[in-house]
Amino acid sequence: MAYETITLKIDERGVAYLYLNRPDKHHALNAQMISELHNAIDRLADNAKVHLLILGAEGPYFCAGGDLRWMQDQMAADRSTKMKEAGKLNAMLNALDKMPKPVIGRIQGNAYGGGLGLICACDIAVGNEGARFCLSETRLGLIPATIGPIVFRKLGWGHTRQIFMTGSQIDSRRALQMGLLSFAVPADALDITIEQEISNALKAGPNAMAAAKALLRGFSQQNEWQAQNDLAINALADCWERQETQVGIAAFFNKRPAPWIKD
């Protein structure tokens, strides 16, 4: 399959490099990118020659979150379509999360909204010291619902509630403390650190790594993940139908402050 919004390469070691590729949109997620990511993830999961995955991007942003034009389409859709599209993003993130191979995030720049969902689906995330992170949805009158379960499972109750509601940014040092990042390194050490983690993974048995990851998921699934996913999808559909959300998105496109922002 030819991809337009992502790139995929596999080297001679069996290391797959899956990169977001919408640089003009700061690698924002839209319907096509979500579909292509899910397709690539499924292909890599089934490819016995692939031993691990590097998820990355190029430029000043790792991922700017959801494409606002795509989100605007969701606002105009009926409830069934809203839930279907939310479910596609949720399914893609869960496919990445359960991939039976190590997933290493190469987080070279800022990540917002859905970009945090991608990071939380990685087993190891290596970020630039200058990168910034944010769940910005509530500043548009939205909620970070679809990515919520995977963020919650990664960061836990205490850390998630610190970033979930206000849309405030955190830096790479705070992201490291919270467990969003595994390493925060200078820009010139990013790929060196990635290579060290690749070397570590290539020394482990592929089947053993898959079994170890499956065991960890088994531990966590005692918390009824699917119920969390269903709750998140319904909550987002509810949010899209609220006037506050529609006004907030309209304000963004018209380049004016949302009505709840006071000078």
Give the least confident one: 83-87, 157-161, 186-190.
83-87
Question: In this predicted model, what pLDDT tens digit does every residue of 35-62 receive, in sequence order?
Answer: 999 999 999 999 999 999 999 999 999 9
pLDDT of residue 131: 95
Whether 55 is covered by a domain: the verdict is yes
pLDDT greater than 70 at residue 85 = yes
Evaluate if residue 222 carries a pLDDT over 60.
no
Bigger pLDDT: 248 or 19?
Answer: 19
Examine residue 155 and state whether it is found in any structural domain, yes or no. Answer: yes
Give the contacts of 251 (CB within 8 A, at least 6 positions apart). 257, 258, 259
| Contact present, 102 and 256 (Cβ < 8 Å) | no
Q: State pTM to two decimals.
A: 0.87
- What per-residue confidence (pLDDT) applies to 97? 94
CATH number at residue 133: 3.90.226.10
pLDDT of residue 224: 72
SS (H, E, C) 106-120: EECCEEECHHHHHHH
Q: How confident is the model over 211-223, as a mean pLDDT?
A: 74
% of the chain beyond a pLDDT of 70 = 97
* Residue at 35 is within a domain: yes
User: How far apart are the C-alpha atoms of 95 and 98, rounded to whole Å?
Assistant: 5
Q: Are 112 and 54 in contact (CB under 8 A)?
A: no
Q: Is the pLDDT of residue 192 over 90?
A: yes
Listed residue (110, 67, 75) closest to 237, CA to CA: 75
Q: Is the dihedral of CA 71, 75, 76, 79 positive or negative?
A: positive
Whether 146 maps to a domain, the answer reads: yes
**What's the mean pLDDT in 85-114?**
94
For residue 1, is it within any domain? no
pLDDT classification of 89: cutoffs 50, 70, 90: very high
- Look at residue 262 and tell me if it is in a domain: no
pLDDT at 221: 67
Q: Is residue 189 part of a domain?
A: yes
The range of the structural domain enclosing residue 46 comes to 6-202
Q: Please count the structural domains in the chain.
A: 1
pLDDT tens across 162-181, in order?
999 998 999 999 999 999 99
Q: Which two tokens stand for residue 234?
A: 């319904």
Query: Which of 97, 22, 94, 19 has the alpha carbon at shortest distance from 64?
Result: 22
Q: How high is the pLDDT of residue 262?
A: 63
Angle at 94 (CA atoms; ends 40, 154), nearest 5 degrees: 125
Residue 250 lies in a domain: no
